[in-house]
Structure 1
């Protein structure tokens, strides 16, 4: 049973934190405010008659950083911008050295500025952070002056106790301290309103937090997606339950209202899918919220009107939309893509007379974290310090590639490569291994041909491999009947995955047709499924390799959790390293697989 993380320590004296247990009721605003005051005051409003009625509050936000301290490589480090003439251009983006500069410049001249995040700050991180259990990322977020964040699903990758350590500090329980200084933990609170300890029946971490300045109060409620247990290992969520996002937010909005906090922002680690891929796509065209779909739409439509804005995440998509609340009034819903490539700048106009946000005045836009600004020196020093510690491990060459091996698309070249690596490793464990399946969500970055450091073009380093597969899942073998294997393929597009299909990446020899003109499980054409050219025999037994997360039924594949005769191997990165080392060299690099194992009909 995971231990309860202790309440967030209030170290930063310039931050006015109000925990759920300690927040006192606030009375009505002073009646002495002049009735004629109406001008917006961005600089404190301290004129001859006291503060103005309206005060603009800047809300800077981002989400899904995933420990990307250095500029992400390949497509993971680019955003698409829509041009006035309808064309698009690609912009290199991301890296905390640049994110820090952009956020600091954005705050200039704004005395009332809050920085918040929508979860997945850590987890699935590159080597510079993941090797050290994401302590470097927490240090970077402290330097970014992050005020508050919700938890995301990846905050639970290593379990509740480790999340508590990231919040409260202390050296790693098994690996100890990485430097001569004790890890201090986060200066900001992680909010987990809908994450309940089954033992205590209480939230694992603080459910909400209140920012205060000169009488201005803005409350934040943080939740992660209710389906977190479906996409995190069972060990990571052991002893926890995850409640409905809307019910939880509405519950704590009432709590804040009773305590006199009328301006409320929800930080929700769940998101949507805009119809356009450009970061500046207008998802309010033709009407409010018409250009975005996905779980966040229903959430936004049902969260109480007491909440004034929604900062979201999880889908790694960029959008700034207005979606009507249950009262039919427009409300801002934002997401800043992922990996620190964008940040959102929202203006919340606070009414001192009512203590609420004047929603008709809310403005918001996403901004690119371009790399044409000076690097923040303190972030450069942080990156250099941790890279020095990681270099002996990270710089080791593990293979060679002839071109970029990408990770996007229904079937990706990198997905096929990883599946092939797992099948090859599976055959080392058991020569009877037949096929391997890899979940696309477990592939966190492409392999890029251009050298990132001094290793040379085409060289794959251990650090790059770690960035691709950072979860330390084991490669497992299990027996499935042919009927079960067919069912697994159908679960890609049905059940929990029907609305957002998760197409498993197949090893060489497994082929079939995916007909997207059909619906549900029928999208997998059963008669087309072949293994090494032969039809799948429903009554035969097949030896299937997959990572331990999938083998446990994760990602909406319950049939994979029903396999028998389990055999557990080493971690998946070891399998990839062995495959690259055995099948590539400087003179004979691996070429990107053709990604032609699944025939897609649209």
Structure 2
């Protein structure tokens, strides 16, 4: 293979000469064989084309095909059909990932037409890119999450408008995404029965067996070539959906599954070209990033790049909502390259890979890969011009009908804001008003605080009212941006929380709350690193904690884990033995997003209240007297100099606070911090890039348990750490228990070994009557 760049505008083009992946090209390929080898298609399908079996309680392929559940016959080919002699065939592969039901647009005043619509723009761009090479030479594919976490216009109709749209646009095959499982296994069946394209999941099995639960692949006829498409979903799916929704399913290694199917397709001569659709990908992606860095940063992405079979010609990815089009080495080859593409999310880009294929040998002679910006391609093209295309016109009518229905139900005011309240965005970046993507789940946010407040306050009328609210960042699907008059509508509010989660109250000890916060540094159950290595929980405004980062002793690549140094609720240090009630979503209460400590809760109350109902009521009641303003205080602050919280009067101490800024829209940059010990102001210092250091003398006349606290301005962040001040004559002995290294073999990290990083302060004297000191700081990833 060789790379022949063809495009120079509105594109991301990877240059083979610019890549130097070193060991990536030497990774050995070994296709893993399972007992459940691919069945002969004639035994599993009545189609003249080919699709792999769906088993278990899901209808068989022939049954689904009668309900428009597999690729139409016009898009498939008999696997034994021979290719007519030709020189070079150009294969135009279009791809999307993580569309998430983006049925969007602006209605005219009389609701009879669309003034503008990013979804219409998306449809028109697909049609233009298809026309470049012709429909017969084009395949339209997806890497999953077509539906789920959808906008209001799609979610209120169970994503039927989105499915209709993709059917109209001729989607021919899709990997299943984790969000297709949001409604459970039965809902997967409903979606498949409505969708013309097969939903593929080669690594999804019936639990305890080697029986595939979904079709593993399909074979399409594109330009007279047999194109095999294999789908696989992130192995983290059980931690990303409510576990009860996927009982009876197992999610195994996605690369092994793709390799197994690719090997069989090649061995049986069923496909000329093979495409892998992975619903997983690089943790980062932009023109400033590169595949080498992402391979080093992500075990999963390294596996996809290094270990995907050389039988696979094209790799499309999804799930991580990143945008890249790179060329990476083919395993076992010294010079061959292949494209790997992800389109970001929400239909903002269309991935396009054009293969120049020798029709005799079926070898890829050259390829081009790019991401096409929908907005840039449409430009100022009038809506009337977009609608001249008959397919776009059909899409337009579906979008219009969905938005009119949503407007009827969703245009009712439900609250009043004084300013936009948004998710967190990458540090150092800028949030553009009304941007639909780019949020970072590793950043604290004003929206996270507001939703967590609602989870606490919406349930305060119950006998078991929560002490705090907690929200996972992936539960916040868009920003809360008011209309010009400050009004938030039902549709806008529901778009923030589109999952229809039940509200739950989980009872956790103070020690388990610390573990919950430490599990923000993510590890899978087997100790491996997930595609998002850190997830910042949103916490209600009555919670404050400090932390330090240490090197995980189970790895030799410098990755870190967090150790919580202090945790307060309502200004009081948590008692490790006391039970606290956490208001949250049923998803998180079931241990979702790898916050497995919730599975150890002494009790979980499922309230029966739905998230969106409580959220709408909260916004209405909270803004009844005045608009809701964003809270830019940060709940978690990194510290240095606080691992020892037993101090001696008269000694000099140095304390550093970092990561005090918040990166939501409108958040101010902190400029000053005031440090206090109890009621005594100690020092004032400037904040520079979110950090401040204090060197100070502990007052000679101070003794006992006091609060060390800093007020950070202008954000209002308040850092609080309990310390115990003793006189030199009564200074206690301090015993430090070092981090247990455990088994330091690569991959045997804290989660795998069960080791913990602990610091125990053993006090020679007792703490004052009625008081206590949080004396154990542990980091156990489990």
Q: Which TM-score applies when normalising by structure 1?
A: 0.82
> Which structure 2 residues correspond to residues 379-528 of structure 1 after superposition, within 5 A?
379-409=395-425, 410-430=443-463, 432-449=465-482, 451=483, 457-496=485-524, 500-516=533-549, 523-528=561-566
Distance verdict in 2 for CA 1:301–1:567, change over 3 Å: same
> Which structure 2 residues correspond to residues 113-124 of structure 1 after superposition, within 5 A?
113-124=138-149
Q: CA deviation at 1:24?
A: 4.0
User: Aligned partners of 1:232 and 1:259: how far apart in 2?
Assistant: 36
Q: CA deviation at 1:298?
A: 2.0
List per-residue Cα deviations over 1:406-465 (Å, max 9, x = no partner): 11241100000000000002312236521111100111000112x3xxxx5321111112
Distance verdict in 2 for CA 1:294–1:426, change over 3 Å: farther
Give 1:163's aligned residue.
188
Q: CA deviation at 1:14?
A: 6.2
Query: Is the CA contact (8 Å cut-off) linking 2:119 and 2:399 kept in structure 1?
Result: no
Q: CA deviation at 1:330?
A: 2.4
Give 1:269's aligned residue.
279
Q: Is the partner of 1:146 in helix, strand or coil?
A: coil
Q: CA deviation at 1:100?
A: 0.8
Q: What is the number of residues matched between the two proteins? A: 528
Distance verdict in 2 for CA 1:128–1:250, change over 3 Å: same
Structure number with bigger Rg: 2
Higher deviation after alignment, 261-270 or 159-168: 159-168
Q: Is the partner of 2:494 in helix, strand or coil?
A: helix
Query: Is the CA contact (8 Å cut-off) linking 1:226 and 1:243 kept in structure 2?
Result: yes
Query: Is the CA contact (8 Å cut-off) linking 1:65 and 1:340 kept in structure 2?
Result: yes
Q: Is the partner of 2:461 in helix, strand or coil?
A: helix
Distance verdict in 2 for CA 1:402–1:318, change over 3 Å: same
User: Aligned partners of 1:366 and 1:549: how far apart in 2?
Assistant: 33
Distance verdict in 2 for CA 1:234–1:5, change over 3 Å: farther
1:254 paired to 2:287? no
Give 1:99's aligned residue.
122
1:203 aligned residue (212, 215, 221):
212
Q: Is the partner of 1:273 in helix, strand or coil?
A: coil
Q: Is the partner of 2:492 in helix, strand or coil?
A: helix
Query: Is the CA contact (8 Å cut-off) linking 2:548 and 2:565 kept in structure 1?
Result: no
1:144 paired to 2:203? no
2:621 aligned residue (565, 582, 589):
582
Distance verdict in 2 for CA 1:405–1:245, change over 3 Å: same
The alignment's C-alpha RMSD in Å is 2.7
User: Aligned partners of 2:209 and 2:317: how far apart in 1?
Assistant: 28
List per-residue Cα deviations over 1:511-551 (Å, max 9, x = no partner): 11244575599854433221122211111111111111111
Distance verdict in 2 for CA 1:531–1:494, change over 3 Å: same
Give 2:649's aligned residue.
none
Query: Is the CA contact (8 Å cut-off) linking 1:288 and 1:322 kept in structure 2?
Result: no
Distance verdict in 2 for CA 1:484–1:13, change over 3 Å: closer
> Which structure 2 residues correspond to residues 4-403 of structure 1 after superposition, within 5 A?
4-7=58-61, 8-9=64-65, 15-17=74-76, 24-25=79-80, 33=85, 51=86, 53-70=87-104, 95-111=118-134, 112-168=137-193, 185-198=194-207, 201-213=210-222, 215-260=224-269, 261-274=271-284, 276=286, 280-281=287-288, 283=290, 293=298, 295-328=300-333, 329-358=336-365, 361-370=366-375, 372=379, 373=381, 374=383, 375=386, 376-403=392-419
Q: Is the partner of 2:512 in helix, strand or coil?
A: helix
Query: Is the CA contact (8 Å cut-off) linking 1:288 and 1:324 kept in structure 2?
Result: no
Distance verdict in 2 for CA 1:310–1:61, change over 3 Å: same
Q: Which structure is higher in RCO with an 8 Å CA cutoff and minimum separation 6?
A: 1
List per-residue Cα deviations over 1:292-341 (Å, max 9, x = no partner): 85622322210110001110000000011122232144221100000111
Higher deviation after alignment, 130-139 or 210-219: 210-219
Give ranges in structure 2 of 5+ residues lacking alignment.
1-54, 107-115, 387-391, 426-442, 554-558, 639-657, 660-782
List per-residue Cα deviations over 1:4-46 (Å, max 9, x = no partner): 134242767663336xxxx64456x57xx4xxxxxxxxxxxxx
User: Aligned partners of 1:289 and 1:511: how far apart in 2?
Assistant: 33
Q: CA deviation at 1:502?
A: 1.2
Distance verdict in 2 for CA 1:476–1:117, change over 3 Å: same
User: Aligned partners of 1:3 and 1:14: how far apart in 2?
Assistant: 25
User: Aligned partners of 1:288 and 1:557: how far apart in 2?
Assistant: 27
Q: CA deviation at 1:562?
A: 1.5
Give 1:565's aligned residue.
603
User: Aligned partners of 2:343 and 2:89: how far apart in 1?
Assistant: 25
User: Aligned partners of 1:281 and 1:139: how far apart in 2?
Assistant: 36
User: Aligned partners of 1:205 and 1:565: how far apart in 2?
Assistant: 35
Give ranges in structure 1 of 5+ residues lacking alignment.
34-50, 73-92, 169-184
Q: Is the partner of 1:391 in helix, strand or coil?
A: helix
Distance verdict in 2 for CA 1:540–1:2, change over 3 Å: farther
Q: CA deviation at 1:355?
A: 2.1
Q: Is the partner of 1:447 in helix, strand or coil?
A: coil
User: Aligned partners of 1:487 and 1:289: how far apart in 2?
Assistant: 28
1:532 aligned residue (547, 565, 570):
570
User: Aligned partners of 1:314 and 1:264: how far apart in 2?
Assistant: 21
User: Aligned partners of 1:577 and 1:486: how far apart in 2?
Assistant: 31
Q: Is the partner of 2:102 in helix, strand or coil?
A: coil
Q: Which TM-score applies when normalising by structure 2?
A: 0.64
User: Aligned partners of 2:622 and 2:129: how far apart in 1?
Assistant: 49
Query: Is the CA contact (8 Å cut-off) linking 1:262 and 1:306 kept in structure 2?
Result: no
Q: CA deviation at 1:380?
A: 2.6
Q: Is the partner of 1:60 in helix, strand or coil?
A: strand
User: Aligned partners of 2:596 and 2:223: how far apart in 1?
Assistant: 53
User: Aligned partners of 2:288 and 2:351: how far apart in 1?
Assistant: 14
List per-residue Cα deviations over 1:478-511 (Å, max 9, x = no partner): 2211111111111111433966111211111111
Q: CA deviation at 1:402?
A: 1.2
